[in-house]
Amino acid sequence: MSIQYTEAYRKAFGEYLRKGTPIRLYMKQAGNTDQYVWRTQRDERVRRSHLANEGHVFSWAEAPATGHPGEDHNCRCEAVPYIPGEVEFGFHEFITSLASSYGRWSNRDFVRHYYKGDGRPVTLLEIGHLREIAEQYAYDDGPAGAFRRLTDQIADEARGSGAGSLSYEFGAAYDFGDVAFSHGDGVVRGTFVGHVDDRGTMLRITGETTFEFSDVFEDPLDVGIEVGGTPYPIVGSWTARFSAEVFKDAFRSVYGAVGGR
């Protein structure tokens, strides 16, 4: 991250604290751009709604639902003035509807289906857990969430492949016990398919990522498979659009194995 941009925002935030001058007004008066890239501190203190803003380009004229960086109580996020070709951004945004018209399953429903469902697979959508699973994975797994880590990984793949088509596969097990005890660990696998354009010192990356969730419910009491029931699969999927501009030089970048982690 450029020290110049960070310092500009810190000065604006100081004026907001001392004089109440709106941050966006100060930034405009200082001759900075009308847009900015939202940067979080990437730690466990960042609230989920602000993690969802990480890497996005916003306009000072139209605040996101959270307000601008620094305006929410105890917000430590920064607004990096956006200059095309000089400032990086990178983000995923859901394009699949995560809403469900089904009732949300409780742990009791998971157990009931184990004994009475004859092993029939269920989907996250039909048990009312799709949004919670997708958002926990995206924003709550680790200090910055899987979306932010995936941005780093795609950026590194793009540097290795150069301009042209890009495909990247990934997958790991995650703990979804906070959504429901009955979930425990579940596997999320996915594939990014997109395109990389050479922009001089930067790479422009666009595409879509498809995510597939899988789990097997087989142990109601967490003590070993129970007699009389039938284990059953739990599956789900969602898609997100990806957009980024990153430096080719990983040592200059906030995204990737060198700068982003």
Spatial distance between the Cα atoms of 33 and 43, rounded to a whole number of angstroms? 27
Average pLDDT over residues 206-231: 82
CB atoms within 10 A of CB 244: 23
Q: Burial level of 90, CB count in 10 A (0-12/13-18/19+)?
A: buried
How far is residue 261 from each of residues 53, 105, 143, measured CA to CA in Å? 18, 37, 11
DSSP annotation of 62: B
C-alpha torsion 227→229→230→236, nearest 10:
-130
Spatial distance between the Cα atoms of 115 and 65, rounded to a whole number of angstroms? 44
Domain with CATH 3.30.450 in the chain: 92-252
Q: pLDDT digit string (tens) for 47-89?
A: 999 999 999 999 988 989 999 988 888 888 988 888 888 899 9
Q: Burial level of 5, CB count in 10 A (0-12/13-18/19+)?
A: buried
CATH 3.30.450 fits 92-252, yes or no: yes
Spatial distance between the Cα atoms of 37 and 45, rounded to a whole number of angstroms? 20
Q: pLDDT digit string (tens) for 163-190?
A: 999 999 999 999 999 999 899 889 999 9
DSSP annotation of 146: H
Q: pLDDT digit string (tens) for 143-156?
A: 889 999 999 999 99
Q: Burial level of 18, CB count in 10 A (0-12/13-18/19+)?
A: exposed
